[in-house]
């Protein structure tokens, strides 16, 4: 049994059929990436997994439990957390307050303090800015905060939507190094990323989406060598 199983999901925006029988899985300890062009359905897939929208048909299970229609605010307590596209931080709150909100459902003050300390170890810049209003952070610092806040929920599955968007190359490297580090420490990751080369470099496996359907699935190293993937998503002529 996989950690996450998405089975025959059909999702719509009004009459637009956005996801067409999507089926894939994520095993414990993996980094799995979804790649594809804009409009392929990558973000819609994450939104459906996290109940920000509901499918008309299909089933989503996490650790064997059906979460297809579990309310979005209940999922962190069940072990699923997402870093949304655009980061979604609370811009008028401080760094520390944002992290505290990441642990809103928890009732273990000592554990929360320890995990906040771990977040500052993971992202020393955030420690330097712990009392700073989050909206005044740089884009890279806000992305670090969004990841750290999600980790405060102590998830067993972390969903990341376009973590490199809008970041300078050096900060992109920092963010992706962090994703690899937390995966090495046991975190399972489902990654949506427009930069397909970066995603495939750190992923174990990948799925290629096209107009709401999976058209290719393989281990990341094989996908990187696939001529179609190279031409469409990696910029190789």
Same domain, 178 and 132: no
Q: Which of 132, 154, 176 is the last residue of a domain?
A: 154
SS (H, E, C) the chain: CCCEEEEEEEEEECCEEEEEEEEEEECCCCEEEEECCCCCCHHHHHHHHCCCCCCCEEEEEECCEECCCCCHHHHHHHCEEEECCCCCCCCCCEHHHHHHHHCCCCCCHHHHHHHHHHHHHHCHHHHHCCCCEHHHCCHHHHHHHHHHHHHCCCCCEEEEECCCCCCCHHHHHHHHHHHHHHHHCCCEEEEECCCHHHHHHHCCEEEEEECCEEEEEEEHHHHHHCHHHHHHHCCCC
Same domain, 119 and 233: no
Residue 103 binned pLDDT confidence (cut-offs 50, 70, 90): very high
Same domain, 165 and 236: yes
Same domain, 69 and 8: yes
Q: What is the CATH number of the domain that holds 228?
A: 3.40.50.300
Same domain, 177 and 211: yes
What's residue 237's pLDDT?
63
Q: Which of 154, 184, 213 is the last residue of a domain?
A: 154
Same domain, 75 and 90: no
Residue 27 binned pLDDT confidence (cut-offs 50, 70, 90): very high
Same domain, 100 and 200: no
Residue 215 to residue 38: CA distance in whole angstroms: 15
49 within 8 A of 159, measured Cβ to Cβ: yes
Same domain, 68 and 180: yes
Residue 89 to residue 41: CA distance in whole angstroms: 23
Residue-number span of the structural domain to which 124 is assigned: 83-154
Same domain, 24 and 44: yes
Tens of pLDDT along 47-91? 999 999 999 999 999 999 999 999 999 999 999 999 998 878 999
Could you tell me what percent of the chain has a pLDDT over 90?
A: 87
Tens of pLDDT along 118-152? 999 999 999 999 999 999 999 889 999 999 999 99
Same domain, 147 and 184: no
Residue 166 binned pLDDT confidence (cut-offs 50, 70, 90): confident
Does 165 have pLDDT greater than 90? no
When the pLDDT of each residue in the chain is averaged and rounded to a whole number, the result is: 94
When pLDDT is averaged across residues 210-218 and rounded to a whole number, the result is 96
What is the count of structural domains for the chain?
2
Same domain, 150 and 165: no
63 within 8 A of 25, measured Cβ to Cβ: no
* Cut 0.85: pTM above it: yes
Q: Which of 131, 154, 177 is the last residue of a domain?
A: 154
Same domain, 67 and 115: no
């Amino acid at each position: 049994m996989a950690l996450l199983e998405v089975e025959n999901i059909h999702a719509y925006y009004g009459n637009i059929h956005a996801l067409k029988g999507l089926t894939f899985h994520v095993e414990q300890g993996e980094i799995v990436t979804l790649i594809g062009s804009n409009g392929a359905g990558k973000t819609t897939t994450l939104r459906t997994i996290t109940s920000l929208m509901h499918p008309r048909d299909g089933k989503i299970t996490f650790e064997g439990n059906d979460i297809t229609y579990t309310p979005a605010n209940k999922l962190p307590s069940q072990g699923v957390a997402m870093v949304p596209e655009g980061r979604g931080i609370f811009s008028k709150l401080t760094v520390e307050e944002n992290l505290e909100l990441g642990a809103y459902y928890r009732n273990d003050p000592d554990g929360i303090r320890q995990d906040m300390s771990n977040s500052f170890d993971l992202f020393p810049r955030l420690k330097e800015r712990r009392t700073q209003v989050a909206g005044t952070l740089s884009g890279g610092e806000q992305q670090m905060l969004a990841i750290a806040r999600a980790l405060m929920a102590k998830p067993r599955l972390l969903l990341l939507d376009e973590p490199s968007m809008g970041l300078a190359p050096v900060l992109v490297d920092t963010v992706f190094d962090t994703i690899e580090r937390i995966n090495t420490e046991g975190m399972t990751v489902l990654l949506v990323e427009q930069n397909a080369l970066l995603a495939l470099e750190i992923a174990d496996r990948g799925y290629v989406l096209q107009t709401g359907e999976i058209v290719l699935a393989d281990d990341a190293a094989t996908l990187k060598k696939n001529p179609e993937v190279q031409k469409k998503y990696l910029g190789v002529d």
